[in-house]
Amino acid sequence: MNYYETLFKRKSFHLFIGGEPTTEDDLKLINSFIKEVKPLYNDIKTEIIIVPEKETTCHRGADYCILFYSEQKGEYLRNIGYIGEQIDLYLNSIGIGALWFGIGKPKEARNNGLEYVIMIAIKRMPSNSFRKDMFKSKRKPIDEIWSGESIDDVTNIVRFAPSACNTQPWYVENKNNELFIYRYKKPGKRGIMPIDKVIYYNRIDIGIFLFILEVCLNHKGISFIRKLYLDESTAETEKTLVALFNAD
Ligand SMILES: Cc1cc2nc3c(=O)[nH]c(=O)nc-3n(C[C@H](O)[C@H](O)[C@H](O)COP(=O)(O)O)c2cc1C
């Protein structure tokens, strides 16, 4: 599948209105895709299962919810964001509407010894209901998320990554093709979410952002060496270095 092309039509279906039933064949396709996803960290155990929406607290008119479970170690939230965004883009590419649903809870908080992390609600949606003009979606201006030289088809596109409450908690510094990626938290800013929740979701958002950044770099044929850093910051830290991409 072409991840880059799909970025332009991807959107969150906050309500699944006017969709079609998600079929058994759809579920087979999704389950076989799930087997192929590439984790950011190979040593963190995860399990991804699909359950009917009614077995969760999600009531957005979806058919099913994809539940992500993980071992709670290291950057497991970032890992789930990175894996989940591959699935999110795949779903959008085959006409299945999706919603990362942070506030949702499943029946089972544990599965095979792994802890529940987050879900993505899904339903097959009409092809004309996907995003038509990505550039019209609300995002921070480039200078709030990127400093140093911008990269065509990368800088301008990565900023459309989805994030919890559209917080966009990322910042990139390009220093001679070394991309320093930070998790960014505006000092003192309090949104509608409690601070511990913000940090939890924003760590997932960073995984989503890293995957989309890689999609953009790959699309441009820019090879890179990726170095990942542990995010050990507290709630008040403004900028936390999470990754360094040595691009050429
Ligand atoms: C980790 C994560 C959690 C989210 N949780 C929710 C949620 O609980 N409820 C909701 O309506 N949208 C949720 N969203 C969707 C965001 O609101 C949405 O991605 C953002 O507003 C950008 O819009 P877009 O995805 O259509 O580009 C979540 C997104 C992410 C990435």
pLDDT at residue 185 greater than cutoff 70: yes
Instruction: Provide the pLDDT for residue 192.
Output: 75
Closest of 185, 186, 198, 179 to residue 243, by C-alpha:
179
Residue corresponding to tokens 């910051």: 233
| Ligand 1 first shell, C-beta below 6 A | 11-12, 14, 99-103, 137, 162-166, 201, 204-205, 208
Both tokens of residue 138?
């609300």
Structure confidence at residue 195 as a pLDDT band (50, 70, 90): confident
- State pTM to two decimals: 0.98
Rounded to 10 degrees, the C-alpha dihedral 72/76/81/87 comes to -70
- The pLDDT tens digits for 49-73 are 999 999 999 999 999 999 999 999 9
Ligand 1, from 8, 60, 101, 135: best to mutate by most atoms within 8 Å of Cβ? 101
Q: What residue type is 29 in one-letter code?
A: L
Residue identifier of the C-alpha nearest atom 13 of ligand 1? 101
pLDDT tens track for 130-177: 999 999 999 999 999 999 999 999 999 999 999 999 999 999 999 999
Higher pLDDT, 187 or 91: 91
pLDDT at 235: 73
Please check whether residue 230 is in contact with residue 183, taking contact to mean a CB–CB distance below 8 angstroms. Answer: no
Rg, C-alpha atoms of the chain: 17
**Share above pLDDT 70 across residues of the chain, in percent, rounded to a whole number:** 99
Query: For 209-222, what is the mean pLDDT?
Result: 98
CA distance 23 to 169: 35
Q: Looking at residues 2-31, what average pLDDT do you find?
A: 97
Average pLDDT taken over every residue of the chain: 96
Token reading at 22: 């998600």
- What domains sit in the chain, N to C, each tagged with a CATH number? 3-129 (3.40.109.10), 139-247 (3.40.109.30)
Residue 236 buriedness (CB in 10 A; 0-12 / 13-18 / 19+):
exposed
Task: Give every CB contact of residue 117 below 8 A, 6+ residues apart in sequence.
Answer: 68, 69, 70, 76, 77, 80, 204
**Percent of the chain residues past pLDDT 90, beyond the cut:** 91
Mutation test residue for ligand 1: of 158, 165, 192, 200, the one with most atoms within 8 Å of CB: 165
pLDDT at 233: 85
Q: Whose CA is nearest to atom 6 of ligand 1?
A: 101
Q: Residue 49 carries which side chain, given as an amino acid letter?
A: I
Q: What is the largest CA-CA distance in the chain?
A: 51
How far, in Å, CA of 244 to CA of 157, rounded? 19
Q: Which of 77, 99, 134 to mutate to test the pocket of ligand 1 (most atoms within 8 A of CB)?
A: 99
Query: What is the Å distance from ligand 1's center to 205 Cα?
Result: 10
Atom of ligand 1 nearest to the CA of 104: 8
Do residues 168 and 160 make contact, with C-beta atoms less than 8 angstroms apart?
Answer: no
* Contact indicator for 85, 34 with CB cutoff of 8 Å: no
8 Å CB contact between 237 and 185: yes
pLDDT above 80: residue 234? no
pLDDT at 189: 66
DSSP at 12: B
Question: Which protein residue has the closest C-alpha to ligand 1 atom 21?
Answer: 166
Q: From atom 7 of ligand 1, which residue's Cα is the shortest distance away?
A: 101
Least confident of 42-46, 108-112, 167-171, 187-191: 187-191
Which residue has its alpha carbon closest to ligand 1 atom 20? 166
> Which of 162, 174, 159 shows the shortest CA–CA distance to 247?
174
